[in-house]
Structure formats: structure tokens, C-alpha cells
Chain A
Amino acid sequence: MSIDLFFQYVVAGITYGTIYAVVAIGFNIIYNTTGIINFAQGEFVMLGGMTAVTFHQFLPLPAAILVAVLITTVIGALVEILFIRWLYQPSVLRMIIITIGLSILIRETALHIWGESVRSLPYFTGSSVTSIRFGGVYLSPQVLWVVGLCTLVVALLSVFFNYTLLGRQMRACAANRDAARLCGISAKNMVTLSFMLSAAIGALGGSVVCPITYVKYDSGTPLAIKGFAVAILGGLGNSLAAAGAGMILGALESFSISILPAAYKDAIAITILLLVLFVKPSGLFGSAEAARLKEF
């Protein structure tokens, strides 16, 4: 493998790794406020991409993406209000099954709205053949968009959680729900907010990455599994670690193509997931004790 090819694989890994990290961060936000893994997280990404494509038919690109993010956020809020908010101390098994059921319903609704066709947005700058050359490595400008926007989102999130009142209230709920409620924070509203936030992040990620990966009614589930693998790899609940783990998984996947048939690429993430679960469920970057302290 030449050095240029090596970096080409690294670039591909970073691109996919970024979107996995975005899905994983969505998992983490909801997990931290509720202790629930939202199995429908991948569907938010799919919905974001799909609605952005639909609205781009009569809106300029930035407006279409904005509308897509807003719509998905509203759907995220509705999901929480209709299916989760009013349950009294639901068991984990119950929540797993409900969110799995939700992901099926969202997917099937998408199938009936958009059909089975594969859709995509145009490249934000240039076209699918435009490339920027760095030494011997060719970069699509869209890759820069994906990495740039996702980095921006992570930065904004960390500002939100550390410096705004609302973000700090959410963190308080994650740290100790009862104590937060005693201080007058509405824990239920924080949960709704966390669903909205992770839906919005998923939708943004879905529409940014859609020119490269395309989007189809069933593209959510594989993303959810990989996003979960990344969340676990980084240590559940820790978003910064998830970003790092996303890069690792993305790189592993893109290098695996040079060794294994491409059809098995998707099995890599799951194998890693299983291995981490068996060997070190607290994640690559987390110690067992740190895993108990939730951090966004």
C-alpha cells in the first residue's frame, strides 16, 4: 500500500467516522438524561436526509436543510411526548421494545411516503467529481463540509452543555434526577429536550452526509447499529470519546475493504461492538468507575 493510498483510506475513514460519531452523540444525549438507548436514532438521520431532499425541490439548499432539521426536531419531540413521557418508571426491556417498534414505524412510514428509491442532495460545493488535492490525496469538498459542520456541532454542544442555563439543567438531570427536580428543574421537559436535540443533530448529520452516502427509507438501522457500536466503543454517555471512537471505526472499516470483500464491511462494526461488549463494556476510553459518572 502506497503512502498516498494509505491517506486516501484515512480520509474515507474520517468521513464515515464523523457520521458514526454524530449518531453516537445522539445516542449519548438521550442516554444521559433518561438511561434509555433510543433504537430509533438512526431513523432521525434518515428522516433528516429524506426531508432535506424533498424540500430542496423548491427551497434553496441551506433553507431545505434548516426545514429538515426543524421537522425532525418536532418529530423527535412528538415521539417523546406520545410514547415515553407518560410512562411511569418503565423497565429497560419495555423501553428497548418501544423504541425498536418506533424505528419500524418511522421506517415503514418513510417507505410509504418516499418509496424504495435511493435519493441524494447535490454536493454543497462543486459536484461529485470536484476534488481538492493535498499532496497525493484527493479530497471531495463535501468531506470538508461533513467534517467541518460536525465539528462545529460538537463545539456548539459543548458550549451549550457547559455555559447555558438550559444545558446545565440537562446535565444536572443526568447527574442526579431527583436532586435536579428538588432544585426546580422539570426533569420531564429535559427529557423532551434531549430527544429534540438528538433528533436535530441526527437530521443535520443525515442531510450533510447524504450527497456522499445517499439516503433510502431503510438506511437508518445500519447507521444506528454502527452509531451504537461507536457509543459503546467510546464508553456510553461520553460524547468526546464517541467522536474519537467514530474515527477509529471509520478507519477500520475503510481499511477492511483492502483485506476483506466489501460485502462484509458492515459486519466489522458489529464484530467490534460484540468484542467490546464482551471484553470491556465500559468502552475503550472509559474506566469502569468513570463509566458510572455520566458526562456529555
Chain B
Amino acid sequence: MRGRYLQLLGFTGLIVAIQLATQLTGNPYHLTQLTMSAYYSLLVIGLCLLIGYAGQISIGHAGFFAIGGYLSALLTTHDLSAHKGTAFMWLAKAGVLSSRTGLYGGDLLTVHPWAACLVAIFATVGIAYAVGGPVLKLKGHYLAMATLGFGSIVYRIVLGSAMVGAADGISEVPPFSLFPGLEVSGRAPLRVQNYYLAWGLVIAGMALLLNLVHSRAGRALSAIHGAEDAADATGIPTARYKLYTFVLSAAYAGLAGVLLTHFNGGIGPSEASIMKSIRYVAIVAVGGMANLWGALLMSLLLNYLSLRGYFGTYDDAVFGGILILIMLFAPEGLLRRQLPGELRRLFSRGDAEEAP
């Protein structure tokens, strides 16, 4: 119990230290990529719960990310001025709409980011619920292919729909003002504020997941991972637990999509691509599958390196390579929880053999 909060505290310390380091070395612009990688990390820890703890693979989580991001972007940029005076305007009375001056000086009447965010999250959860029901009945190859299929349907739809900008995506998404004085946007003066906001959210999300995996539900999930039939036989409602985990991880992905879209001021179809989904799986695998902290740290590191362009044109190849190497040589993941014990055994092999 206490260990968990100490870890969270330690991680908070790391986040503060990184910020101070960028400040002291005069590289505050690194915070932009670090903030983006925070939002990706939000998705990754949710996916880690699903893959590592519940044992259900998903190669379609970029789809949920894109649904959240695209819905929020569409609602906050789609101009409703043309509908003025129609029955539509009860929304304005309810305070759901906000008007602002557009980039070209015209008045825009759009859905308020808060309302858009809620709609986007609810839609993501709803879709995850509807898709998860039948998909999670599948196992192995079928599950992998079905989630891959879901991801590519989302990709094909956003790529093929003129309404969401087809190949260009949606741009000029307004900042998301959470409450006065705090807004999600990529403007340089707000860099530090956004950095702490994003990582604060990740830490909160992490606290929730850590508590979850140490609860009754978490133990049920590891039972499902270990042997689903046995878990079922001991009275664990396996289907329901798997579905809830799937929906929860989709909600994390959707929220990450909404916030990153407001932070970047836009979203493109590449966010929905299969390669993105595979990249998230790769990060979870390097992080140690059933290791939330490993996934989080690896996500921070790898997303940052990738976003800063350190991998160059080999960006996708790096993640493909990571995936293969991990699965060939350390299928339980690199930073697996048993690792300290294994290393200890390795170094004290002589003693261990004497005392069987």
C-alpha cells in the first residue's frame, strides 16, 4: 500500500526533475515533446492493463485514440453559425456552445471543448462497449485480427471521409480551457503549465490503475490471464471483467486523443494507423507486459526519442525491431516484475544450487 504511493511520489519527483533539467540547461522546448509523450503514455498504461494484466491483446487502440481526438476536433471546429435561429439553438441556451473569432476574423459558433470532450469520451466508451462484447469472446489469432480489423476500419473511415478532412485531418482545433487560467494548448508561454497538467493527469491515471490491479478486480484479472477457464470455474465473471478492462483502456485512449488533439491544435489520419497501434503494443512489451511502471517509463523514453526524431527514417523499423527482439529473447517483457529476483538468482547461482 505504502510502496505504491512512494513509487508515485518518486515518479512525480522524476517529472519535476526533468522539467528543472530542461529549464536549467536552457532547452525548455523539449517540454513540448515530453507533454505529447505524456498523452501517449496515458494510452499506453491503459493498454498495459489490458494486455499485461487481463491478457487480452489489442492491435487497434490507435482507433480509440483517433475516435476521441477526431470527435473532439470535429465538434470544436465545425461552425454551427448557419443553424442560428433553428431548433438547434437550445444547445446554446444550455451553454454547450461557445462563440469565438476564427482564424480569418469571422465569428465561429462551435461546441464548447468541455462538451466536446465529454461527448468524445462517451462515444469512445460506447463504441468500445459495443465492439468489446463480441471481440473479447475471441482468443489468440482471432482476437488479434479482430482488433487489428477494428483499427483499420477506423483508419479507413477517417482517411476516406471528407467531413473530417480525409488525408489532411482536422486543423485549427482551439485550445481547451479547462477552467480560467488553465488551458490545454501548445502555445509556448503555457509550456510548463501544460507539461505539469499532462503528467499530473498521467500520475492520477496511474494511481487509479495501481489501486485497481491491487484490488479484488486486479486479482480477478490475473486469474483470467493465468487460466481463463479456471478463473471462470472459481466464479469470476470473466467476460464482464474483460469487457470492463477493455472499455477502461479505451476510455484512457479516448481521453488521451482528446487532450493531445487540443494540445497539437489538430489531428491527422496517421494517429489512427495500424503502425501506431503496433507501436503502443511494442512499448507495453518492452515495459514488461504486466508492469505498469515499466510501460510508463518506456513510453516516456521511447515516445520522447521518437517525437524528437532521434530514430530518423527508421522510426517504424525501430519499433518493429524492438517488438521482435523482445518477443524472441524476453517474451515476458524486458522490465518484468520478476526481473530483480531473477537477477539476484543469476548472481548467487552457486548458493542457490547448494541449497535446493
Residues of chain A touching chain B, judged by Cβ–Cβ distance below 8 Å, are 37, 83, 87, 90-94, 96-98, 100-105, 107-109, 112, 221, 225, 228-229, 232, 261, 263-264, 266-267, 270-271, 273-274, 277-278, 281
Contact = CB atoms under 8 A, between A and B. Distances in A.
Interface size class on chain B is 35 or more
Contacts of B281: 97
B328 A92 contact: no
B149 A101 contact: no
Contact of B317 (A92, A105, A281): A105
Contact of B138 (A83, A107, A221, A281): A281
Given A37-B141, A91-B331, A267-B160, 18 more contacts: A87-B328, A93-B57, A96-B141, A96-B144, A101-B282, A101-B320, A101-B324, A102-B324, A105-B321, A108-B317, A225-B152, A229-B149, A264-B160, A267-B152, A273-B145, A274-B153, A277-B142, A281-B142
Nearest to B142: A277
A83 B313 contact: no
Nearest to A218: B275
Contacts of A98: 323-324, 327-328
20 contacts: A37-B145, A83-B324, A90-B331, A92-B141, A93-B55, A100-B59, A101-B323, A104-B319, A104-B320, A107-B316, A108-B314, A108-B317, A109-B317, A225-B145, A263-B160, A267-B156, A271-B153, A277-B135, A277-B138, A281-B142
B320 A97 contact: no
Nearest to B319: A104
Contacts of A112: 313
Contacts of B327: 94, 97-98, 101
A278 B152 contact: no
B274 interface: yes
B292 interface: no
A268 to B, nearest CB: 10
Contacts of A87: 328
A221 B273 CA distance: 12
Contacts of B328: 83, 87, 98
Contacts of B145: 37, 225, 228, 232, 273, 277
Contacts of A105: 317, 320-321, 324
A96 B281 CA distance: 12
Interface in B106-156: 134-135, 137-138, 140-142, 144-146, 148-150, 152-153, 156
A43 to B, nearest CB: 11
A176 B167 CA distance: 49
B146 A264 contact: no
B149 A225 contact: yes
A270 B316 contact: no
Nearest to B332: A94
Contacts of B150: 270, 274
Query: Quick one: which of A101, A102, A271 has the most chain B CB within 10 A?
Result: A101
Contacts of A109: 317
Interface string B153-167: 100110111000010
B253 interface: no
Interface string B23-64: 000000000000000000000000000000001010100000
Contact of B316 (A92, A94, A108, A225): A108
B97 interface: no
B278 interface: yes
Nearest to A96: B144
Nearest to A87: B328
Contacts of B285: 97
Contacts of B282: 101
Contacts of A91: 331
Contacts of A103: 320
Nearest to B317: A108
A100 B144 CA distance: 10
Contacts of B55: 93
B330 to A, nearest CB: 11
B149 A104 contact: no
A174 B144 CA distance: 23
B84 to A, nearest CB: 31
Interface in B55-87: 55, 57, 59
Contact of A264 (B137, B157, B313, B319): B157
Given A97-B285, A277-B138, A225 B156 contact: no
Contacts of A101: 282, 320-324, 327
B140 A273 contact: no
Contact of A96 (B57, B137, B160, B316): B57
Contacts of A274: 134-135, 146, 149-150, 153
Contacts of B320: 100-105, 108
A100 B323 contact: yes
B156 A263 contact: yes
A33 to B, nearest CB: 15
Query: Quick one: which of B150, B320, B327 has the most chain A CB within 10 A?
Result: B327
A92 B140 contact: yes
Contacts of B57: 93, 96-97
A102 B156 CA distance: 23
Nearest to A266: B156
A277 B324 CA distance: 27
